[in-house]
Chains A and B, each alone.
Chain A
Amino acid sequence: MSTVTEARTEQVVLTPPSRWRGLLRRHLAMPAVLAVVLLGTYLWVRSADLDDIERRSLNADYLLRTVGEHVTLTALTTVLVVAIAGGGGILLTRRSMRWLAPFATGLANIGQATPAIGLLVLLSIFFGIGFSTALIGLVAYSVLPVLQNTIVGINQVDRHLIEAGRGIGMSPFAVLVRIELPLAVPVILAGVRTALVLAVGVATLATFIDAGGLGAMIVTGIKLQRETVLVTGAVLTATLALTLDWLGGVISDLLRPRGLD
């Protein structure tokens, strides 16, 4: 199973007046849509007659805390995954290590192939329940797309460019930093975005091992049949996933070498 995510095809801007204006035009739709959805959900919950059970979940304190937990969990996962998979991907594309790549992706595949809830509960048996266990599970779960895309992204860089770089006297390190990585960025970031969206979804399961997050609202909503709680939890989770994906898109645009616009 390979999770190579194609970088999105951007519309061709013939005369780029300035980088920022193009960015704005391309990336304004999503925040607008999300704002409308959030506002709609808020107004709907406001108009509903809430009982004790709903009030326990639908108050500012609780919402801020759970969203905060969810964001923290996802953000830390991202940092760790980028470090582990990005670094690993760079190493595995060096000539001396190339033979290791299939083993590494196989290992990363295991993390993805295990059912997420099973992985979390299994880890909690070894490491106890709580935040750090959830983090380990999430990292194991999201490493693969980034690793895979880093390897593919670097390997697809035109060999002639690398040889040209070496030919004008660049060190291997300079070739990596100034040629390979910039050209691989769109593919690598596509992997990061995929991993992030996955992580936000899987992080809802953290509630089963006392690691908080938005999953608690979804579980409460399902078990006690409170639509307001269920929908709020689900909308917040989806909004968070799409926001992060959108951020990834913006960053990807900013990091893209100018010549590729």
Chain B
Amino acid sequence: MRNRTALTRLVAGSTLVALALSGCSVTTEESGADVSVGKGSIKEDSSLKGQTIVVGSKDFTENIVFGHITMQALTAAGAEVEDKTNIKGSVNVRKALLSGDVDVYWDYTGTAWITYLDHADPIQNSAEQYAAVVKEDKEKNNVVWGAFAPANNTYALAVREEKAEEWNLNTLSDLAAFAKSNPEDATFCLESEFVGRNDGWPGMTKAYGMNVAADSVKVVDTGVVYTETKKGEACNFGEVFTTDGRISHLNLRVLEDDQSFFPIYNPAPTVNGETAASYGSILTILEPIVAKLDDDTLRQLNEKVDVDGEPVAQVVSEWLKAEGFIG
């Protein structure tokens, strides 16, 4: 009995403390983590005060991380946020933005250029690619882009470090030569999207003059690519994303795209024209945060979620606090 009262007191006390400490909080369905957003370098914004902003994201860890960065930053600026992160399929999120169901989500310059603006050939320079996307997307679709992050989340092929050493592989050209001389070891795990995209497998094999037999290509789910590439039974080479946290954790070597075939995918927040007109400050608030997101930072954030299994909201909140954006 005594124990129980003590416990009750402890719980009640800590709840009160938590309530007192947190300015306001963001609750997310997928993580269940309740994080507090206090005062940091992000200032209250009068145009956002009490307004509800709908935040979306695509369906993979990194993009969900962006969604949570946006939600916590906007909460710190005084807005109410509605969580629509983790929408299946890239194009569906984009549709939601165009129709106004979602106010803001992060996309990638290369994706917009190739998938939404229908260009076959990417521009192999970050700033030029970004400028071209910003201009054309505003004219054609009334989508406004915020500043772009230095990180480049593009496709790559990865192989176990010890095998890369043994076979002396550093670039995709090395891999193309290797596939010619050792066809039985040139086995690949890819996800269906990569197999179907022009800027994926079909274009890459053409650009590097690779001939791979159909039965050396295994089509699996994204998560399975990493586990199988690590195991090395079904496939030696896996299609990965350059900012994925699992690359370093699984000790994989990413092969360099020496012919610059893969497009550049710099992430940036996007809003539709109407949102931009009413709440222009969304993009201004995010700008200093975007500048901090380079490959390494993203890889670490992704690793905490994918490898250590921490809730996204908590990972984002710790990082924003460490950088001083929120308190």
Give A residues with C-beta under 8 Å from B.
Answer: 52-53, 56-57, 121, 124-125, 128-130, 207-210, 212, 216, 219-220, 222-225
Shortest C-beta distance, A116 to chain B (Å), equals 13
Among candidates B89, B95, B197, residue contacting A53 with C-beta atoms closer than 8 Å = B197
Shortest C-beta distance, A100 to chain B (Å), equals 36
Taking A53-B197, A130-B218 as given, write out 12 further A-B residue pairs in contact, using a Cβ cutoff of 8 Å, ordered by the A residue number. A121-B224, A125-B227, A128-B234, A129-B218, A129-B224, A129-B234, A219-B192, A220-B193, A222-B88, A222-B92, A223-B91, A224-B91
Give the residues in chain B near A210, CB-CB below 8 Å. 189, 218-220, 234
What count of chain B residues pass the 8 Å CB interface test? 26
Give the residues in chain B near A222, CB-CB below 8 Å. 88-89, 92
Interchain CB contact under 8 A, A208 and B220: yes
Interchain CB contact under 8 A, B234 and A223: no
Give B residues with C-beta under 8 Å from A.
Answer: 88-92, 95, 115, 189, 192-193, 195-198, 202, 218-221, 223-224, 227-228, 231, 233-234
Compute how far the CA of A129 lies from the CA of B234 in the bound complex, rounded to whole angstroms: 7
Shortest C-beta distance, B20 to chain A (Å), equals 40
Interchain CB contact under 8 A, B92 and A225: yes
Compute how far the CA of A80 lies from the CA of B228 in the bound complex, rounded to whole angstroms: 28
Give the residues in chain A near B233, CB-CB below 8 Å. 128
Interchain CB contact under 8 A, A209 and B192: no
Among candidates A121, A212, A220, residue contacting B196 with C-beta atoms closer than 8 Å = A220
Interchain CB contact under 8 A, A223 and B90: yes
Give the residues in chain B near A209, CB-CB below 8 Å. 220-221, 224
Among candidates A208, A212, A220, A225, residue contacting B224 with C-beta atoms closer than 8 Å = A208
Give the residues in chain A near B91, CB-CB below 8 Å. 223-225
Q: Interface SS of chain A: helix, strand, loop or mixed?
A: helix
Interface centre among B189, B197, B198, B220 (most CB of A within 10 A): B220
Shortest C-beta distance, B306 to chain A (Å), equals 15
Shortest C-beta distance, A150 to chain B (Å), equals 34
Compute how far the CA of A209 lies from the CA of B92 in the bound complex, rounded to whole angstroms: 24
Shortest C-beta distance, A219 to chain B (Å), equals 5
Give the residues in chain A near B231, CB-CB below 8 Å. 128
Interchain CB contact under 8 A, B197 and A224: yes
Compute how far the CA of A219 lies from the CA of B195 in the bound complex, rounded to whole angstroms: 12
Interface pairs (12), CB distance under 8 Å? A53-B198, A57-B196, A129-B220, A208-B220, A209-B224, A210-B219, A219-B192, A220-B192, A222-B92, A223-B90, A223-B192, A225-B89
Interchain CB contact under 8 A, B196 and A207: no
Compute how far the CA of A222 lies from the CA of B198 in the bound complex, rounded to whole angstroms: 17
Interchain CB contact under 8 A, B234 and A216: no
Shortest C-beta distance, A234 to chain B (Å), equals 15
Q: Which 3 A-B pairs have the closest CB atoms?
A: A225-B91, A208-B221, A210-B218
Give the residues in chain A near B88, CB-CB below 8 Å. 222
Compute how far the CA of A208 lies from the CA of B218 in the bound complex, rounded to whole angstroms: 10
A207 and B219 in contact (CB under 8 A), knowing A222-B89, A224-B91? Answer: yes
Compute how far the CA of A130 lies from the CA of B218 in the bound complex, rounded to whole angstroms: 9
Smallest Cβ-Cβ distance to B120: which chain A residue: A52
Among candidates B189, B197, B221, B234, residue contacting A121 with C-beta atoms closer than 8 Å = B221
Compute how far the CA of A200 lies from the CA of B198 in the bound complex, rounded to whole angstroms: 30
Interface centre among B95, B193, B219, B228 (most CB of A within 10 A): B219
Compute how far the CA of A121 lies from the CA of B202 in the bound complex, rounded to whole angstroms: 26
Shortest C-beta distance, B62 to chain A (Å), equals 16
A56 and B224 in contact (CB under 8 A), knowing A128-B234, A210-B218? Answer: no
Shortest C-beta distance, B75 to chain A (Å), equals 31
Give the residues in chain A near B218, CB-CB below 8 Å. 129-130, 210
Among candidates B95, B193, B219, residue contacting A224 with C-beta atoms closer than 8 Å = B193
Interface centre among B90, B218, B223, B224 (most CB of A within 10 A): B224
Give the residues in chain B near A223, CB-CB below 8 Å. 89-91, 192-193, 196
Interchain CB contact under 8 A, B196 and A53: yes
Compute how far the CA of A225 lies from the CA of B189 in the bound complex, rounded to whole angstroms: 23
Interchain CB contact under 8 A, B223 and A121: yes
Interchain CB contact under 8 A, B92 and A52: no
Give the residues in chain A near B202, CB-CB below 8 Å. 52, 56
Shortest C-beta distance, B31 to chain A (Å), equals 19
Give the residues in chain A near B220, CB-CB below 8 Å. 129, 208-210
Compute how far the CA of A56 lies from the CA of B203 in the bound complex, rounded to whole angstroms: 13
Give the residues in chain A near B90, CB-CB below 8 Å. 223-225
Shortest C-beta distance, A126 to chain B (Å), equals 12
Interchain CB contact under 8 A, B234 and A130: yes
Compute how far the CA of A128 lies from the CA of B202 in the bound complex, rounded to whole angstroms: 26
Shortest C-beta distance, B212 to chain A (Å), equals 15
Smallest Cβ-Cβ distance to A217: which chain B residue: B192
Interchain CB contact under 8 A, B192 and A216: yes
Interchain CB contact under 8 A, B224 and A124: yes
Smallest Cβ-Cβ distance to A53: which chain B residue: B196
Give the residues in chain A near B196, CB-CB below 8 Å. 53, 56-57, 220, 223-224
